[in-house]
């Protein structure tokens, strides 16, 4: 397996001032990526068909559109009921792929029915990986890693979804919407009783600890959708002793969601991007640059 010479390039280098601002991306050979895709297809054939129904990444006939539609459908359907509102918790994991413990992942893959030879190959793929970091014109010395899944590899997001497949709500009024490492807890609350929603935090943090995942409370956000004419102020959610910030809008799977569930912010964002692209096209047109054949 061509692991030697595996360098990491920092994609977000323009505005990075501190070491923790960098996010490394694995640069693996094209042939390796093609082989990973073959392995990924083989893994999918061995998974149970009803595995993790609220995971929308790497599932047949599912996409981010389905995750967004499901989230909004759950919210809007519940809001039709009297004296009800919805709380959405957008969870952020710190370096989710980098904290995976391969041995723990293999145990879960075995329980899912993957054969021993495939599990051993995945374990070899994730452990004893020599790599170096390349920033600008500088390359670090090589070090060997046996933790995490490389960012930028084809298999890493799928392996993360299998690691967290048992991240399910403990109360029927809550729903965990997942797309790879993006996890959103949708709490359907009636008659101001949000106890079930708040109780969801404890098993969630316990699951994070069991899977060696670090929940970043500072980047985790909460949005409350409440269309009632009269309602009291909502107290923030507490995770590990810290309050989760309540926001009016947030970006969910590349779509701007607002607490009034209108599309004005998302539409204006798309329009702005379109105007920028059209500006570049007009500038290129003035240069009389011939189109590439």
The model scores a pTM over 0.75: yes
Inside any domain, residue 280: no
Both tokens assigned to 189: 């609350």
Return mean pLDDT, the chain: 89
Inside any domain, residue 180: yes
Determine how β-strand 6-10 pairs with β-strand 24-27: antiparallel
Inside any domain, residue 26: yes
pLDDT at 20 over 70: no
Inside any domain, residue 32: yes
pLDDT at 8 over 80: no
- In this predicted structure, what is the pLDDT of residue 58? 85
What would the pLDDT profile of 185-212 be if each residue is shown by its tens digit? 999 999 999 999 999 999 999 999 999 9
What would the pLDDT profile of 265-276 be if each residue is shown by its tens digit? 999 999 999 999
Give the mean pLDDT of 84-90.
Answer: 97
pLDDT at 59 over 80: yes
Task: Tell me the pLDDT band of 106, cut-offs 50, 70 and 90.
Answer: very high
Task: Tell me the pLDDT band of 16, cut-offs 50, 70 and 90.
Answer: low
pLDDT at 6 over 90: no
Question: Which range marks the domain in which residue 79 is found?
Answer: 6-263
Inside any domain, residue 110: yes
- In this predicted structure, what is the pLDDT of residue 220? 96
- In this predicted structure, what is the pLDDT of residue 3? 46
Give the mean pLDDT of 148-172.
Answer: 92
- In this predicted structure, what is the pLDDT of residue 17? 61
CB 244 within 8 A of CB 223: no
Inside any domain, residue 271: no
- In this predicted structure, what is the pLDDT of residue 145? 85
Task: Tell me the pLDDT band of 256, cut-offs 50, 70 and 90.
Answer: very high
CA angle 68, 74, 240 (to 5 degrees): 80
Q: Count the domains in the chain.
A: 1
Inside any domain, residue 193: yes
Measured distance CA(163)–CA(104) in Å, rounded: 8
Give the mean pLDDT of 87-106.
Answer: 93
Inside any domain, residue 276: no
- In this predicted structure, what is the pLDDT of residue 21? 62
Count H helices and E strands in the chain, helices first.
Answer: 8, 14
What would the pLDDT profile of 36-51 be if each residue is shown by its tens digit? 999 999 999 999 888 8
- In this predicted structure, what is the pLDDT of residue 140? 87
pLDDT at 11 over 50: no
Please report the DSSP string for 9-48 in residue order: EES--SS--SGGG--EEEE--HHHHHHHHHHHHHHHHHS-
- In this predicted structure, what is the pLDDT of residue 7? 46
């Amino acid at each position: 397996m061509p692991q030697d010479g595996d360098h990491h390039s920092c994609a977000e280098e323009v505005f990075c001032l501190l070491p923790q601002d960098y996010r490394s991306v694995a640069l693996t050979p094209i042939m390796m990526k093609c082989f990973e895709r073959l392995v990924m297809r083989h893994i999918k054939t061995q998974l149970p068909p009803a595995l993790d129904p609220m995971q929308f990444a790497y599932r047949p006939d599912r996409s981010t559109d389905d995750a967004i539609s499901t989230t909004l459908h759950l919210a809007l359907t519940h809001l039709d009921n009297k004296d009800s509102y919805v709380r959405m918790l957008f969870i952020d994991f710190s370096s989710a792929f980098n904290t995976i413990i391969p041995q723990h992942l293999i145990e879960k893959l075995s329980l899912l029915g993957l054969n021993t030879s495939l599990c051993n190959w995945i374990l070899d793929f994730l452990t004893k990986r020599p790599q170096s970091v390349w920033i600008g014109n500088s390359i670090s010395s090589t070090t060997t890693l046996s933790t995490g899944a490389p960012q930028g590899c084809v298999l890493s997001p799928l392996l993360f979804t299998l690691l967290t497949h048992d991240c399910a709500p403990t109360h029927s009024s809550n729903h965990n919407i997942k797309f790879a490492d993006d996890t959103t807890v949708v709490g359907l609350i009636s008659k101001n009783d949000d106890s079930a929603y708040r109780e969801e935090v404890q098993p969630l943090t316990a699951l994070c600890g069991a899977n060696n995942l670090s929940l970043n409370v500072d980047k985790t956000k909460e949005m409350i959708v409440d269309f009632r004419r009269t309602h009291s102020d909502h107290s923030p959610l507490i995770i590990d002793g810290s309050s989760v910030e309540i926001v009016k809008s947030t970006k969910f799977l590349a779509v701007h969601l607002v607490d009034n569930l209108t599309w004005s912010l998302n539409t204006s964002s798309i329009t702005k991007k379109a105007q920028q692209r059209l500006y570049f096209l007009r500038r290129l047109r003035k240069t009389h640059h011939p189109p590439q054949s």
